[in-house]
Amino acid sequence: QSTLTQPRSVSASPGQSVTISCTGTIYDVGGHNYVSWHRQYPGKAPKLIIYAVNKRPSGVPDRFSGSKAGTTASLTISGLQFDDEADYYCSSYIFRSTSVIFGGGTSLTVL
Amino acid sequence: QVQLQESGPGLVKPSQTLSLTCTVSGDSISTNDYYWSWIRQHPEGGLEWIGYISHSGTTYYIPSLKSRVDISIELSKNQFSLNLTSVTAADTAIYYCARDSGYSPDYWGQGTRVTVSS
């Protein structure tokens, strides 16, 4: 598998919640808890917002949460703000090849 | 605050070698807590992990690029580097260096755009 599977785009209104999925296999997402999420604004570098499935780095608000069920990880953003409009990428380790795989990215539009 | 900064040519001719350096500040790459990564983003948008290196020089690469990639580390300069040989237009991308905590890339450089063209 060359990339993890994410929806290409999602949209929601301010104040609502949105969930972005990331589907892999038993060799990556489903095999451990080394799943992360990164946010990228246009023309900027990605920034880590969730690691180890559901942990937030310092400074990331608790509106951002992560979860996993089987081979699908999810990022939920609650209380949507216009500033949340960005691209979101999941990533996972592949232990059998000691490498990292990314999702194709999801473009979030806040209407 | 950890900061990473990529540097290198923005234009490389086909069949030549792409060489980039990442300078790290705010952290020592000599510690054994992290890996130091290269990741690229093609014009169509997707992120592709290239590989990473430990402070001791142990390297791991994505299988599809393994024959053309070399990542090295210069502890005295707090830098690590990427060499990608025999480049083609398909290697045109924004190249990011990043620190990897063991769970994930956690700090990213701002990225440097590299175009492969004659």
* B61 CB-side CA count, 13 A: 14
CA distance A49 to B93: 23
What is the pLDDT averaged over residues B56-70? Answer: 94
Pairing mode, strands A35-40 and B35-41: unpaired
DSSP code for A4: B
Model pLDDT, residue B45: 83
Q: Has residue B58 got a pLDDT over 70?
A: yes
From the candidates A32, A99, A107, which should be mutated to test the interface with B, based on the most B CB atoms within 10 A? A99
Model pLDDT, residue B111: 97
- Percent of chain B exceeding pLDDT 70 equals 100
A104 close contact with B: CB closer than 8 A:
yes
Residues B105, A100: C-beta atoms closer than 8 Å: yes
Model pLDDT, residue B102: 83
Residues A105, B62: C-beta atoms closer than 8 Å: no
A58 close contact with B: CB closer than 8 A:
no
How is residue B51 written in tokens? 């590989």
Facing residues of B27 across strands?
none
Among the residue ranges A7-16, B10-19, B42-51, the one predicted with the least confidence is B42-51
Q: Has residue A1 got a pLDDT over 70?
A: no
